Structure 1
Amino acid sequence: MRGRLPSATTSAFVLLISLTFATTAIYRPGVFDLLSVQGAEVAAKVREACQLAALKGLDDPACEVVRRGARQDLRLGVLLCFATLVLLTGLQYWFGPAWRIRRRRLRPVVGEVHDELRRMAGEVLGGRRVVFLLDVLNPGVAGLAFGRIGRRYVVISRGTWMLFERDRPLFRAVVLHELAHVRNRDLTITAVTLAMWRSYAAVILVPGLLAAVNGMLSGRAPFLRSEQMPFGSNVMLSWLFAVQITGLAVLSWLTRSVVLQSRELLADARVLSWQEDATPLRRLFEQAPAARRRPVSLRVRTHPHLAVRRAALDGQAPLVRQGFVFPLALGGCFSLTMDPATSLTAQGRTNTLPWPAEAFALLLAVALGLRALRAVGAPGDAVHVPLGLAAGLAGGWVLAPSRLTDHALAPFPVSVQLGGLVVLAVAGLLLGLWVRWVARVWAPRVRGLWSALAPLSLIAAVVTLSARMFYDVQTQIIVAHVQKYPAVSEPLAQVLITAQIMLDSRLSGGVLLLVAIVLLMLAPMAVRLAALGERRPPAPRRKGRLALALACGAAAAVITAVVSSTVNGYIFQRSGATVSGLIAAGAASGAALAAAVAGWSRTSPVAKGMVTGLAAAVLYALVLELVVLPLRAALPWMLHMIILERVLEAALIAGLTTALLSRLLPVQAAPVAEPVRG
């Protein structure tokens, strides 16, 4: 099943594309905007006052000059920056192979070695044409595959060439690994990845860092365009911008490493499909020189550690495992791609190019789903993937270009900003748990790409439909703080109330709530119910399940009751304490039951917890209609939907979180059968 899905390299490559183009949508060196139509220059204090007035909903005629200045037409600068990146990437990809051959003085392989190489290529590649080159200056045992469409090259070093006579199996292992890159069709992805990363560094990262340093030395802000910094024009912005550019450089380097390291493990797996004996590859990794303790070149991270490659020879876990870095990079890229469409500064811009945020969300969701389907059963992913997505979504939003103008020097408390990041982190944690659950449910029925379309479509639909709402919360938090609604002194409470108000407004009509129930719960559970009669491997027994169930149930009830009461006290002030108490009681009971069932279940804890939450919500609604409400005034339909939504929301969070905690419990040793005595 996993071998018929698109490779992990392809999934990771989507991240680099997203990262590159998302950053340039808002930030780019000022030289690209020299040909754009410029507006009037406005003093920094006037810009700040008018921006705050706009957030409060006030219409000040004195701010008309600021609005005219914000209408600068910068679309030409965006297109020029995009075109420069594409042009530099294309030039490196097309002319890079010829430059590499000339720079390293590579020469064609001749004689008996060439005949053997041609024979091996014919066995594993069929009709694909490969040119074999010799690196005379490299005495070590090494190989390299590179090229562009129509011109594929495989380089062997002088040390590898000498193995032809001394150790033929080791010689074949080196060559087959390089031919595997050609067979896996990852040479183009590799070449474009390296070219795009160099272009991104040259066009975005290095000029940005130089602008930050120049701002530090001159005591000015790092931008040439005043509308990019409505909340601050001093040297502090240069220091913050330097930190941001450094973070973007690290994120882009991690993304590049994810792409390049994935291809190496897949090439090793391809070699094992050609020859079952892994001894030559194992010997090759054991004889490789030890890595430097402090590497001076970033190139060492283009290959996985030798320990990981050796482990991949014995099992598929290192090959399919997502780990922590991939979801971290994916979450960061996701936040960066949503920034140009959902941030406060981006929404206030005019004359901008339409940014396809949902298209990027769709691509990244498919990449996440593909990796999850390939990694079903991989050890460690139950914890690493949710935590990686949580850190990535929050970290990417901090590194997004608009963060400097929306938050950094604006009069918004740091605690309010951190509270907004908590919402994103929790969303990433729940998304990772839910996607992994969907993948585990569907994995036995996936036999190739066509059969994987159903779970991928489900994941893409959930992510695409909910992405803008979660990122709009960040803007609404700022607006709510400025407008002082709700009038809450505690920053985290204000963030929770603002997020809950948005969620209630979206789901209280009933239609979207029904869609959410079907997508998040009923669709995966229908697949699980269809597989009830199928035999599955026994789940490991875990110690302390009863204690976990009781503890999580009690904690979920208390936390949900406190949070729900705090939120309801501000949202339902006019309805009185009755409505607030009914909602808090229902949410607390649903969360307690879902958490307890998820903690106690050996198999399918997420599904059973969500079924329990759904049943608790329906039962609670019936109790209200048949027992409680006949004795009181009837509740409006909208409040019924809010009660149902709150119960399901609490049950979903409690069930998914408890399922994550249950994975951390130690596994109970299986009983050993005693021998039968005659």
Structure 2
Amino acid sequence: MTGRVPSATASAFVLLISLAFATTAIYRPGVFDRLSTHGSPVPPKVREACLLAALKGRDDPACEVLGRAADQDLRLGTLLCFATLVLLTGLQYWFGPAWRIRRRRLRPVAGEVHDELARMAQEVLGGRRVVFLLDVLNPAVAGLAFGRAGRSYVVISRGTWMLYERDRPLFRAVVLHELAHVRNRDLGITAVTLAMWRSYAAVILVPGLLAAVIGVLSGHAPFLRPLEMPFGSSVVLSWLFAAQIIGLAVLSWLTRSAVLQSRELMADARVLSWQEDATPLRRLFEDAPAPRRWPVSLRVRTHPHLAVRRAALDEPGPLVRQGFVFPVALGGCFSLTMDPAASFTALGRTNTLPWPAEVFALLLAVVLGLRALRAVEAPSDAVHVPLGLAVGLAGGWLLAPSRMTDHALAPFPVSVQLAGLVLLAVAGLLLGVWVRWVARVWAPRVRDLRSALAPLLLIAAVVTLTARTFYRVQSDIIIAHVQDYPAVSDPLAHVLISAQITLDSRLSTGALLLVAVVLLMLVPMAVRFTTLGEPRPPAPRRTGRVALAVGSAAAAALITVLVSGTVNAYVFQRAGTTLSDHLAVGAAFAAALAAVAAGLSRTSPVAKGMLAGLAGAVVHALVLELVVLPLRTALPWTIHMLILERMLEAALIAGLATALLTRLLPVRGEPAAAAAVPVAKTPG
């Protein structure tokens, strides 16, 4: 799979772009808003009354007039901040190579060594021009490739230059690695990545941290106008913003490292495609000095650990797997990208630039799909990717600057906020499991980028169609706390009720639910059953599978009845108990069937559990229409769709939980040997 789909370097670069521009859509230093139009201030008490009236659905013409008078046009400030980021990035990218040459006093390589370098470049690059430079001041064995469009430079250190006479294979390994960067066309991506990260730090992170410190000292939270914020500002909000800025710095550092480290592994793989003998590279990694523990070497963060690079020389796992850090960065960037479009602050703002959330969601979904297709042969990603997305989605939403302004606009309990983050984490976990499943069933069909378009389009369609609606649930939680259920004491129940109402309103019409079933289940399963080639070997036999299936079915049915009863008591408090009972019984029936199917299945337990739940929904509908209810009181179509939706939800959760429990059982006998899958070592 490594040579079939594009390199991971370009896909990782999308993360940094989305992070930089999404943050500035909500927060930017106040200097950029100096030229924006400021409205007339409104007394805090009046603004508080108007805000609460709007949340409770009451229209007040006086509040509408005051809102227009106090509105602030933020479009010019946003454009100025965007333009500053682009300008600083462009200047560093264009003039960076010349500045690096002058600062490090690099000089052209001459003589016999230059002739050898030119010959090697002609051998592996063809007619592409490369300028070779010598770093006289660096005695270590090192190399560096940098440049911009039309100009590529390869630097060898004084230690590498001395290897030309003492150890020619090691000299060749160092130079070929740097030439591999030129061949992989990652010099431009590297230059823009470093330039954008520096610009983001200078324009957003450093001023943000200074604003937070000033807020702590002055007692007023940054970028909140005290006269217009109904609940004022405080030192606590300043501390919160400081923590968010530090978290954004860590997240941006992780995305930067994801880009730069992936390019190093791809360059090593390119060298192996030019010369099959990995001995020189292995010697290079073994002879390299151990990285410093303290202080942390910044260059180590741009390169994978030497143990990882050594392992990648023998097997493709380190080259293709995503690991844990990349899904965390992707999930964090995704939540930050959706913040300017779906947060409570964004929904309450006017005169702002329309934020293309779906465009960024589409790009990030394609990145997620590409990485999943490349890493389909990495077993460790079965755990790392779902957990990473769970942490990333929740962490990114927590780091978004809107969390502070949301709390200032409509403060609600911290326990409810944390429960909302749990909802995001569960969504990330399910997304990671589903995307990996789609990648696994499609992997035998993928030969190149064209054949990978179908799974990529499926993943992009599901993510893009659901992202805005799902993230709006976080705003619905705030509104529900003020408007609908202030008496709900359990924060998790409060969040579940808000999410369930959103799902019911979207899926009870029937069309969207059928589309979701087709996209999420039927299309991947159809591909799985029609894929040519060797079938996937079944999982090893495990003891206690029947007992687990029966026990899980009973537990799933009981838990589903309890949870469904709690949620339905608020959702259908005016509709009587009949519909609530039908929903609870149907969900419990589907959960029990899914648990049995997942517990007894040795392959695709979650998918088979969902199919069992879908079959149970059909049976449940027939029983309701033909046995339970008289003909004159037949349920309408929307009610059947509502019951089907609840049954599929319960089947998904029960099937997933049972499948995870089966992994904890002891294995009976020897596990089935996995078929060896040949993997090309040429980079994508």
Letter of the structure 2 residue corresponding to residue 638 of structure 1: T
SS of aligned partner of 1:314:
coil
Residue 382 of structure 2 is matched in structure 1 by 382
Q: How does 1:221-620 map to 2 (within 5 A)?
A: 221-223=221-223, 225=225, 229-407=229-407, 410-485=410-485, 487-531=487-531, 534-541=533-540, 543-544=542-543, 546=545, 547-620=547-620
Residue 72 of structure 1 is matched in structure 2 by 72
Change (3 A) 1:475 1:305: same
Residue 19 of structure 1 is matched in structure 2 by 19
Distance 2:533 2:424 in 1: 38
> What is the deviation of 1:670?
2.6
Maintained 8 Å contact 1:430/1:653: no
> What is the deviation of 1:230?
4.7
Structure 1 stretch displaced more, 634-643 or 621-630: 621-630
> What is the deviation of 1:600?
2.8
Aligned residue pair count: 672
> What is the deviation of 1:605?
2.0
Q: TM-score normalised to the size of structure 2?
A: 0.94
Distance 2:62 2:408 in 1: 26
> What is the deviation of 1:667?
5.5
> What is the deviation of 1:116?
1.0
Change (3 A) 1:212 1:315: same
Residue 10 of structure 2 is matched in structure 1 by 10
Maintained 8 Å contact 2:543/2:667: no
Distance 2:447 2:672 in 1: 35
> What is the deviation of 1:477?
1.0
Change (3 A) 1:404 1:280: same
Distance 2:157 2:669 in 1: 50
Distance 1:548 1:276 in 2: 49
> What is the deviation of 1:327?
0.9
Deviations 1:422-470 (A, max 9, x none): 2111111111111111000101100011111110110011001111111
Query: Runs of at least 4 residues of structure 1 off by over 6 A?
Result: none
Maintained 8 Å contact 2:27/2:401: yes
SS of aligned partner of 1:584:
helix
Q: TM-score normalised to the size of structure 1?
A: 0.95
Maintained 8 Å contact 1:545/1:599: no
Change (3 A) 1:167 1:548: farther
Maintained 8 Å contact 1:545/1:600: no
SS of aligned partner of 2:181:
helix
Maintained 8 Å contact 1:361/1:464: yes
Maintained 8 Å contact 2:625/2:635: no
Maintained 8 Å contact 1:587/1:646: yes
Letter of the structure 1 residue corresponding to residue 91 of structure 2: L
Residue 219 of structure 1 is matched in structure 2 by 219
Distance 1:324 1:147 in 2: 31
Residue 676 of structure 1 is matched in structure 2 by none
Letter of the structure 2 residue corresponding to residue 611 of structure 1: L
Maintained 8 Å contact 2:4/2:448: yes
CA RMSD of aligned residues (A): 2.1
Structure 1 stretch displaced more, 331-340 or 630-639: 630-639
> What is the deviation of 1:654?
2.5
Letter of the structure 1 residue corresponding to residue 540 of structure 2: R
Residue 98 of structure 2 is matched in structure 1 by 98
Distance 1:324 1:672 in 2: 27
Distance 2:433 2:373 in 1: 13
The answer to whether 1:206 aligns with 2:206 is yes
> What is the deviation of 1:367?
0.4
Structure 1 stretch displaced more, 170-179 or 571-580: 571-580
Distance 1:164 1:665 in 2: 57
Maintained 8 Å contact 2:540/2:672: no
Consecutive unaligned residues in structure 2, runs of 5 or more: 674-684
Distance 1:225 1:186 in 2: 44
Change (3 A) 1:198 1:563: same
> What is the deviation of 1:295?
3.0
Distance 1:466 1:20 in 2: 23
Maintained 8 Å contact 2:146/2:191: yes
SS of aligned partner of 1:564:
helix
Distance 1:397 1:48 in 2: 25
Change (3 A) 1:555 1:594: same
Q: Which has the higher contact order (CA 8 A, sep 6+)?
A: 2
Letter of the structure 2 residue corresponding to residue 169 of structure 1: P
Letter of the structure 1 residue corresponding to residue 534 of structure 2: R
Distance 1:433 1:287 in 2: 40
Distance 2:390 2:273 in 1: 36
Maintained 8 Å contact 1:129/1:152: yes
Maintained 8 Å contact 2:22/2:336: yes
Distance 1:76 1:542 in 2: 64
Consecutive unaligned residues in structure 1, runs of 5 or more: 674-678
Maintained 8 Å contact 1:382/1:660: no
SS of aligned partner of 1:541:
coil
Change (3 A) 1:534 1:300: closer
Distance 2:156 2:396 in 1: 40
Maintained 8 Å contact 1:232/1:410: no
Maintained 8 Å contact 2:229/2:408: no
Deviations 1:581-605 (A, max 9, x none): 2211111121222233223322222
SS of aligned partner of 1:105:
coil
Structure 1 stretch displaced more, 353-362 or 598-607: 598-607
Distance 1:666 1:185 in 2: 48
> What is the deviation of 1:4?
2.9
Change (3 A) 1:222 1:651: same
Q: Percent identity?
A: 81
Letter of the structure 1 residue corresponding to residue 420 of structure 2: G
Change (3 A) 1:205 1:54: same
